[in-house]
Copies of this chain bind each other. A is one copy, B any other.
Amino acid sequence: MSGPTRSPARNPTLADVAAAAGVSLSTASLAFSGNKPVSEETRERVLAAAGALGYAGPNPLARNLRRGRSGVVGVAVGRLSTAFRDPAALPMLDAVSEVLDAAGLGLLLMPEGDEHAGLPLDAVIYDICGSETWGAYDDLVARGVPLVVVEGPAWAGATYVDVEHRRGAAEVARHLHDLGHRRVATLTLEASHPQREREAGLRDVYPDAELVGPCASDLVAAQRMVGAWWDGGGEASAVVCQSDVQAAGVVLEARRRGLDVPGDLSVAGFDGVATPWLDLELTTVVQPLAEKGRATARAALSRIAGEPVDDVLLPVRMRVGGSTGPASHAT
């Protein structure tokens, strides 16, 4: 026995395996990757040696450096608890994850605030509708990391996935107008691209729609906001919200005040998510959430592959539920 060249503490490398199997480093690599034919006998010898040495396969870090890819796509969301509290975010992210998985890519969550510089990302998906500035943007551009923006601000070099916010909002507005509503108020989101588009859609029909106020897509926040508005003398026969969660909050607050929905008040939402704890199906604009996620992930994949990618605009569909009805003459 000659003295061992390798410290036994160190993890075995492909070179160790190759040596143990009596083949060259390149052949051992081929035996694992299968990128070129290797005789059956050699492959078995290599795998046997690997097993004996406790070698678990090629080191991903080294592979990544060689390939120039990390196999990871970053997804910028807001603060996690905020981002995922919105039930509309889940089906979307779920679909993203599904498509990425199928392509063998991982999904890295990038909470707001952290710049995440120093992590090797093959592409980044920006899905924070709220914020329109982003510290990491310049760095990504400098590094040439493909960026896919979902319903977001216009940034140079990014691919866009968007939804027909304006058409959807206008359709709901028209529906309310057809029901005779003349005095309409709207609960908005923070200033953002979707908000601007939706408000434009609403004002296509109701140029004078009153503003209840900007509000997170949160049940309690919406309740408070509309409550305060009513307390302040606000009046409307219909309230148009920018999410179903907001709409549910308005319904709950209306009932708390003895108003019947839709008898005394019509309420419309946005997104088309399930609200099983509400005994009412909301009138809303149904977004193709899963398709949005898929389109987003596919765009990222194409950009990674270096293919040209078109921006995507997804259609919406109004769903008339039980939360809107004819305007009563009283209001």
Partner of A72, one of B65, B97, B101, B108: B108
Q: Which residue of B lies closest to A63 (CB)?
A: B118
Q: A53-61, A126-134, A208-216: which lies at the B interface?
A: A53-61
User: By the criterion CB–CB under 8 Å, are B80 and A97 in contact?
Assistant: yes
Q: Is A42 at the interface (CB under 8 A from chain B)?
A: no
Determine how many copies of this chain the complex contains. 2
User: Would you give the shortest CB distance from A74 to chain B, in whole angstroms?
Assistant: 8
**In A61-79, which residues have CB < 8 Å from any B CB?**
61-65, 68, 70-72, 74, 79
User: By the criterion CB–CB under 8 Å, are B277 and A60 in contact?
Assistant: no
Q: Is A1 at the interface (CB under 8 A from chain B)?
A: no
The residues of B that contact A59 with a CB separation of less than 8 Å are: 120
Q: Is A178 at the interface (CB under 8 A from chain B)?
A: no
Known contacts A80-B90, A277-B278; A107/B106 CB under 8 A? no
Mark contacts of A110-146 with chain B using CB atoms, 8 A cut-off: 1 yes-contact digit, 0 otherwise: 1101101111100000000000000000010011100
**In A213-238, which residues have CB < 8 Å from any B CB?**
219-220, 223
Q: Is A93 at the interface (CB under 8 A from chain B)?
A: yes
User: Would you give the shortest CB distance from A288 to chain B, in whole angstroms?
Assistant: 15
User: By the criterion CB–CB under 8 Å, are B80 and A109 in contact?
Assistant: no
A101 to B108, CA, bound (A): 12
The residues of B that contact A56 with a CB separation of less than 8 Å are: 139, 142-143
Main secondary structure of the interface of A (DSSP, over half): mixed
Q: Which residue of B lies closest to A58 (CB)?
A: B118
Please classify how large the interface on chain A is, using the bins under 10, 10 to 19, 20 to 34, 35 or more. Answer: 35 or more
Q: Is A155 at the interface (CB under 8 A from chain B)?
A: no
Of listed A57, A62, A144, A277, residue having the most chain B CB within 10 A: A277
Known contacts A119-B60, A219-B276, A277-B219; A108/B106 CB under 8 A? yes
Q: Is A248 at the interface (CB under 8 A from chain B)?
A: yes
Further contacts, 11 of them, CB under 8 A, given A79-B94, A219-B277: A54-B142, A56-B139, A60-B118, A60-B120, A61-B61, A61-B120, A80-B90, A84-B90, A108-B108, A219-B276, A248-B277
Q: Nearest 4 A-B pairs (CB), nearest first? A: A56-B142, A60-B120, A81-B94, A101-B114
